[in-house]
Structure 1
Amino acid sequence: MSRTSARAPDTAAGERVLILSAGVGAGHNSAAAAVQQACTARADVAEVQVLDVLQVSSVLYRALLAKGYFVLVEGLPWLVEWGYDVSNPPFRRRGPIDPWTRVNAGPVVSAIKRFRPTAIVCTHFLPAQLLASLLLRGVVDARTAVVTTDYDFQGLWLSSAFHALFVAREEGRVELLALGLPPDRVAATGIPIATQPDLVQVRDASEPPMLLISAGATGGDYALAVVRQTMHMRSAFRATVVCGNNDRLRHRIEQLVAPAGDRYRVLGFTAEMPQLLHRADLFVGKPGGLSASECMAAGLPMVLVNPIPGQEVRNGDYLMEQGAAVRCNSTATIGWKIDEVLREPGRLPRMRAAAQRTGRPDAAADVLSGLLGGPLRPLVVTRAAQRTVLAASEQRFVATDLTGPSALVRLVDRATGSTIALLQAEELGDLQKRYAAPTGDLVLRRGRAPAWPRWEERRLLRAILRGDDALPVRGVGPETPFHTLP
């Protein structure tokens, strides 16, 4: 494949930002839309485009990934949890993308070439893995960001080449530094959500508390049980029930609450969700990454029901740890649990304050600032370094504590000070034999790597040299503990 650009991207006419998502649930596309909105607020962005990579894939591939996932969620949740845990170790998969994915990636690669981006933002791990392959093969030169969409970091999001990795919370950043990733390539920004600058908090203290009961975009049937339980509550309240795209669910709930008069308002899919979040006193629903982030930004506490095993359970753990949520593990106690929150003096204000502290409403803007103001050269994690990270994780070691030939070291660009490669100490020794300069530094040079078996070295040089013929770098050893790095 041909290169899309050489050396630094041409941004004289403004940045060209391509946002790649995958429509597995609504959250990834919502995060992409939030980044797109943030692009429109920047004078240096000339054009922005969003592409759902599944929409340009084959029908079978799209059905298996998008629809198959939710079939498992409904029918075999234990299998979803098992899959989450199996794919969680960092760099469990180190080889190239599988042939089926590569075939379906063809239209995505064509779209990238047509758009000629100077920056690419990935809000799903599928395009992130594809972009890593393209960076290493020299197909793209654009700055590439990976933006996670859940509070807990999953190793599946780690790829072998990227420019910046943005996680939802500081604990995720600390985890990645402990794995050996350099601090100049990882930032805790929060999860990108759309901003509503004209909205202000409109909760009326003189009115009964407002519950916002959400069935999610697809309209989960669990909402029917939630509503039924609220009808047994002793506390005064009003409720808005959002049923998403499930018209059948909406009709069933309307029939259920008909005897309750005007206490309940039942909606289908609505564009009013931002307004509803700012009017409500308590959100009742699933802790998806985007839903939770929107609630936190609005200062809205949550009652968590029916979380998807894996990421949503861990999202809920974090929100409860912050004091911004409670979880209902039994359908029979949902009404009682909400009653407990509403009846305990001062509890709802404390939860609201915790939600406000947890919220990151500027995440999308921070992602763009970090990417567009960051290094031009990507970070490359060699496969040997990936093996070190994986082995340390499986053995419950902190990778940065390792010593010897397999210890992790960094290559730092002399001119910019940015880390451009994570590799094993043994690999650095090999590079020093071929690229050592009289000053004691290394000067990486195009065409100097042996033809075989140094193919990994050739990938490294191709990705980080970009359009240059030589690059002065220095090696940084593992002696600095990750928690003291800037």
Structure 2
Amino acid sequence: MRRSSGGRAGAGAGERVLILSAGVGSGHNTAAAALEAACAGRDDVAEVQVLDVLQVSSLLYRELLGKGYFVLVEGVPWLVDWGYDVSDQPFRRRGPLDPWTRANALPAVSAIKRFRPTAIICTHFLPAQLVASLLLRGVVDARTGVVTTDYDFQGLWLTSAFHAMVVAREEGRAQLTALGLPADRVAAAGIPIAAGPADAPVRETGRPPMLLISAGAAGGDYALAVVRQTLHMRSAFTATIVCGRNDALRRRIEQLVAPAGDRYRVLGFTSEMSQLLRRADLFIGKPGGLSASECMAAGLPMVLVNPIPGQEVRNGDYLMEQGAAVRCNSTATIGWKIDSVLGEPGRLQRMQTAAARTGRPRAASEALAQVLDGPARPLIVTRAAQRTILDASERRIVASDLTGPTSLVRLVDDRVGSTVALLRAEQLDDLEARHAGTGEHLVLRRSQAALPFGWEVRRLLRGVLLDDEELPVRVEALPGTPWA
């Protein structure tokens, strides 16, 4: 998928925004589309392009990543759960891209060079890792943002260089700052979703509650079990069932509910989902990041079924913590669970209030602003700092509690106050030996980047200085309360 659209600024002026996604499921591309739409609301954006990096990679690579993941989800979900936990360790993946990934990334790199972006926003960790390597090598000179698409932050999204890291909720921001990342580079803006329609319908009162049963864009067969269970419910209700692109599923459900008359409405893939979310009273389906975010923005509580191990289970945990969802762990109790929500006086209304409180309908525009209006210099996390963060995390130590040569320090741009580097204290020796300064202040100079530094420090200087000959910075230890 590659598409390009003009913005409001005149030709040749304004920001050129490139949004990189990866079509593993529909959520990452949906978030990319929401960010693209948000660009239209800014006068400083001249052009925006969206690129699914898997679509320009080899067929084998695309099939293995795009379809292989869901084969594992269906066949060996325990392996997916294990893989999620293993990859959750911060900076476990370090160093250059593996040769196969690098080879498949060449078409995406060519597309980036052709577009000449001034800003790059990634809604999947694969392009985020690629862009970080390009930034450190000087291949791109653009503001870069990483925008996550689940409520729980996974360490796989962390990269060695970025301008802004946008997570879904404040707990994710607290988690990253506790790891050592500077608070001025991490924002909690929500998960980007399309803006709701201006003429959004209002939930009607005085009628039976409307259930919205979703099989997802691909049409998961679990929806058939959900519908079958609703046939045994005692509560009054109506139901709209969205089967996605699974025509066979739609026909089976139509046959199943035919005796119930007009209580059920069965749809295939629909462009009316945003209206349905605002008209319905209760959603039954999987807690994907984008689906959950859209429900919360519409004030629509959820009954969670068949979550994918890892991110969807954790999404569900968060929604239940907020009081905006309940989860069914057994197919046999789905009808009972929905009945229990509808039958308890005031419970559905309380859940709707909790959902509305949790929703972030302006997440796309807020995430975009974090990148376009943020610092011009990237944050560089040295390889040594990454190892420190990983080691501390595995020992369950907060980074700010570390002391000695392996503790972390920050370099802060004295002119604008933004953090430009995170490194080990022992790495300061090279910098302090060659850069003039007084006390906790240094002046980084381009002319000294060619001196026989360690390669890590040379890379740091290239990334931080950009086009400047020198940059005054101050050295700071990590704050004692990292989430403040």
TM over 0.5: yes
AA paired with 2:474?
R
Of stretches 422-431 and 253-262 in structure 1, the one that deviates more from structure 2 is 422-431
Q: Deviations over 1:374-424 (max 9, x none)?
A: 100100000110011001110111111111111111000111111000001
Match of 1:230 in 2: 230
Match of 1:122 in 2: 122
Matches of 2:35 and 2:72, distance apart in 1: 30
Residues 432, 109 of structure 1: alpha-carbon distance in 2 compared, 3 angstrom cutoff = same
What is the 5 A alignment of 1:27-426? Answer: 27-426=27-426
Matches of 2:289 and 2:328, distance apart in 1: 18
Residues 163, 92 of structure 1: alpha-carbon distance in 2 compared, 3 angstrom cutoff = same
Residues 440, 344 of structure 1: alpha-carbon distance in 2 compared, 3 angstrom cutoff = closer
Matches of 2:279 and 2:483, distance apart in 1: 41
Matches of 2:197 and 2:237, distance apart in 1: 28
Matches of 2:86 and 2:452, distance apart in 1: 34
Q: Deviations over 1:222-251 (max 9, x none)?
A: 000000000000001000100111111111
AA paired with 2:329?
N
Q: Deviations over 1:38-83 (max 9, x none)?
A: 0011111010000000000000000000000011111111111011
Shift, 1:449, TM fit:
4.2
Matches of 1:224 and 1:95, distance apart in 2: 45
Residues 17, 449 of structure 1: alpha-carbon distance in 2 compared, 3 angstrom cutoff = closer
* 8 Å contact kept, 2:197–2:274: no
Q: SS of the residue aligned with 1:239?
A: strand
Match of 1:3 in 2: none
Q: Between the two proteins, what is the percent identity of the paired residues?
A: 76
AA paired with 1:238?
T
* 8 Å contact kept, 1:283–1:302: yes
AA paired with 1:471?
L
Q: Deviations over 1:348-374 (max 9, x none)?
A: 000000000000000000011111111
Q: Deviations over 1:130-189 (max 9, x none)?
A: 000001001111000000000000000000000000000000000000000001000000
Q: SS of the residue aligned with 1:145?
A: strand
Q: Deviations over 1:453-479 (max 9, x none)?
A: 611111111111111221111111135
Match of 2:459 in 1: 459
Matches of 1:103 and 1:24, distance apart in 2: 19
* 8 Å contact kept, 1:404–1:425: yes
Matches of 1:478 and 1:161, distance apart in 2: 19
Shift, 1:440, TM fit:
5.5
Q: SS of the residue aligned with 2:483?
A: helix
Of stretches 105-114 and 284-293 in structure 1, the one that deviates more from structure 2 is 105-114
Q: SS of the residue aligned with 1:483?
A: coil
* 8 Å contact kept, 2:197–2:275: no
Matches of 1:200 and 1:450, distance apart in 2: 59
Q: Deviations over 1:314-350 (max 9, x none)?
A: 0000000000000000000000000000010000000
Matches of 1:68 and 1:223, distance apart in 2: 22
**Which ranges of structure 2 fall in alignment gaps of 5 or more residues?**
1-10
Shift, 1:483, TM fit:
3.0
Match of 2:18 in 1: 18
Of stretches 89-98 and 423-432 in structure 1, the one that deviates more from structure 2 is 423-432
* 8 Å contact kept, 1:22–1:53: yes
Matches of 1:214 and 1:481, distance apart in 2: 43
**Aligned Cα RMSD in Å?**
1.4
Q: SS of the residue aligned with 1:308?
A: coil
Match of 2:477 in 1: 477
Matches of 2:203 and 2:37, distance apart in 1: 26
* 8 Å contact kept, 2:180–2:482: yes
Residues 401, 224 of structure 1: alpha-carbon distance in 2 compared, 3 angstrom cutoff = same
Shift, 1:429, TM fit:
3.0
Q: How many residues align?
A: 475
Q: SS of the residue aligned with 2:448?
A: coil
* 8 Å contact kept, 2:203–2:279: yes
* 8 Å contact kept, 1:146–1:164: yes
Residues 152, 103 of structure 1: alpha-carbon distance in 2 compared, 3 angstrom cutoff = same
Matches of 1:483 and 1:248, distance apart in 2: 50
Matches of 1:427 and 1:403, distance apart in 2: 14
* 8 Å contact kept, 1:403–1:478: no
Q: SS of the residue aligned with 2:81?
A: helix
Matches of 1:187 and 1:424, distance apart in 2: 24
**Which ranges of structure 1 fall in alignment gaps of 5 or more residues?**
1-10
Of stretches 397-406 and 52-61 in structure 1, the one that deviates more from structure 2 is 397-406
* 8 Å contact kept, 1:401–1:481: no
AA paired with 2:476?
V
Shift, 1:122, TM fit:
0.2
Residues 436, 453 of structure 1: alpha-carbon distance in 2 compared, 3 angstrom cutoff = closer
Match of 2:6 in 1: none
Matches of 1:303 and 1:392, distance apart in 2: 37
Q: TM-score normalized by structure 2?
A: 0.96
Q: SS of the residue aligned with 2:48?
A: strand
